[in-house]
Copies of this chain bind each other. A is one copy, B any other.
Amino acid sequence: MKQKNILLGHGSGGHLTHDLIESVFLKHFSNPTLNLLSDAALIDTEKGKIAYTTDSFVVDPLFFPGGDIGKLAIAGTVNDLAVQGASPAYLSAGFILEEGLSVETLEKVVQSMAEEAVNAGIQIVTGDTKVVERGKCDKIFINTSGIGFFDVNFSALGIEHIKVGDKILINGSIGDHGMAVMSARNQLNISSKIASDCACLNGLIDSLNEFKSQIRFMRDATRGGLATVSAELCKHQDFGIKLFEEKIPVDKGVRGICELLGFDPLYVANEGKVVMVVSNEISEQILDKMKKHTLGKSAAIIGEVTLANAGKCYLETQIGGNRIVDMLAGEQLPRIC
């Protein structure tokens, strides 16, 4: 690793995070399951396949338009399971609390988790609480892990199933979560209503069940945004990805605040967006079906898998140019989730 000390960027989900994972975590923990670095580990047990994942949440502030750290902690883990094609079933919840935190605040967060758990149809079955001295953490950190199961007709998802000509779909506008947290953090007095897209995606994904043999790959575009997912997707592969800027849904308010503050929505975190690679033949049908779901109303086909530019992701801009889309390099918005 180039750095001798941990930078905020090591938590960005981009290049620095990948460096850290490869040069510290994989170096010591290496095993075939972990090495895949998928959103959820797929474990083959004697009794069948299980999906297993974990995420810690340190979002600041705890509450923001459209969600809070509790809702996020459920949605983040549910989504990591769902994008692997698993049905999320059981979650764990580990709390690190700062001495002096108001119990009322904690209870609001816990209540929000409970509601989101009901929405997603999962159960929190095990937990843990630690308390650290005032000033040794920031109010509440939550870790959730989750277990999901596969039905018998499970068709494996994975980059290896992607074919040239496949289409890239997203279920709605990008950047909402990052900009909602940003606005709340800085108490920006913005008239346009920006709200986080924070949501459990397992219901939306379930609604596409009839097409699942035609879905090649899914990933939720969280830290690092759509850009990072797209760049990761084709890294070291024998295909490229082309995204069409004019097709990518961006909320007007989000676009405005991004321009104001100098953010590129492509890199801004989402918490309720799934990027899907699907077969070309059936992509319009999947899109239509997606649009019928509450969480897919603004769904769009935003790109395609190309033979050209293998290993690279290009954005065809609205003015007709092409620019390369790389993973997030530093840290754009620390503590976004």
Contacts and interface: CB of A to CB of B under 8 A. Distances in A.
Interface in A90-145: 90, 92-104, 106-107, 110-111, 113-114, 117, 123-133, 135-138, 141, 143, 145
A7 interface: yes
Interface string A24-68: 110111010110000011010111101011111110000000000
A28 B101 contact: no
B130 A56 contact: yes
Contacts of A56: 94-96, 128-130, 143
A260 interface: no
Contacts of A48: 47
Kindly name the residue among A90, A113, A145 whose own CB sees the greatest number of chain B CB atoms within 10 A.
A145
Contact of A94 (B5, B34, B143, B334): B143
A335 B132 contact: yes
A97 B11 contact: yes
A8 interface: yes
Contacts of A331: 131
Contacts of A17: 129
A10 interface: yes
A174 interface: no
Kindly name the residue among A1, A34, A56, A133 whose own CB sees the greatest number of chain B CB atoms within 10 A.
A56
A122 to B, nearest CB: 10
A100 B5 contact: yes
A31 B138 contact: no
A103 B3 contact: yes
Given A40-B126, A125-B34, A99 B6 contact: yes
A310 interface: no
A193 interface: no
Given A21-B129, A34-B125, A110-B28, A103 B53 contact: no
A31 B107 contact: no
Contacts of A106: 6, 24
Given A92-B53, A129-B17, A110 B34 contact: no
Contacts of A54: 92-94, 126-128, 143, 145
A20 interface: yes
Contact of A103 (B1, B126, B131): B1
Contacts of A24: 103, 106-107, 110
A139 to B, nearest CB: 10
Contact of A34 (B40, B89, B126, B137): B126
Given A54-B143, A90-B41, A114-B28, A6 B98 contact: yes
A147 interface: yes
20 contacts: A5-B99, A5-B100, A6-B100, A11-B129, A17-B129, A24-B106, A24-B107, A27-B110, A28-B114, A34-B125, A41-B90, A45-B47, A47-B48, A56-B130, A94-B143, A131-B331, A136-B138, A137-B138, A141-B141, A145-B145
